Amino acid sequence: MKKAHIMKNSIKLFVVAAVAAVGAIGIGSAATETGFASGEASSPRSLYLQHCSKCHGADGRADTPKGRETDADDLTSASTKRASTAKILRVITAGKGDMPGFGKKLTAAQIRQIAGYIRTL
Ligand code: HEC
């Protein structure tokens, strides 16, 4: 009887510790993935890192597992550099092929900020 009680408590403790650990890992990896300090949470760079780097990579070259899997464009390529801003805005807003559209997730102003940011990659 007593033993069962101790078991229950240690299971509870384990669950609490596991949840805390997952939380900490989550926060840790979110911070490395997006690379922003809290103050610049909505800078063009952090928006890009948050929404685009999974496929296009932090450097824009799409050399990430998801980028290779979806055959994402290298945003530093000559052809993307030549693309008009109108086209870039359209692709980000509506999506293209395996790229989802961000028109519902981001505001038009945020999409313009990201479009400006990828020109600097
Ligand atoms: C799920 C992976 C994925 C995510 C996330 C993603 N993209 Fe893409 N992106 C792609 C793929 C795949 C293509 C190529 C689409 C095609 O041509 O069929 C692409 C194409 C583009 C192009 C067109 C480049 C050109 O030369 O025509 C731009 C610009 C672009 N992405 C920017 C972004 C931006 C900015 C974000 C974040 C807001 C983003 N992408 C998020 C996968 C992704």
What is the tens place of the pLDDT at every residue in 43-80?
999 999 999 999 999 999 999 999 999 999 999 999 99
Same domain? For 76 and 55 the reply is: yes
Say whether both 23 and 48 belong to one domain. no
Does residue 9 share a domain with residue 59? no
Compute, in angstroms, the gap from residue 13 CA to the centroid of ligand 1: 44
Q: Which two tokens stand for residue 73?
A: 């464009």
Helix, coil or strand: residue 99: strand
Asked if residue 56 and residue 6 are part of one domain, the reply reads: no
Q: How many domains does the chain have?
A: 2
Does residue 114 line the site of ligand 1, with CB under 6 A? yes
Provide the pLDDT confidence category of residue 42 given band limits of 50, 70 and 90.
confident
58 and 25 in a common domain: no
Strand partners, 96: 99
- Co-location of 96 and 114 in the same domain: yes
The band of 14, judged by pLDDT with boundaries at 50, 70 and 90, is low
pLDDT of residue 100: 98
Owning domain of residue 9? 1-34
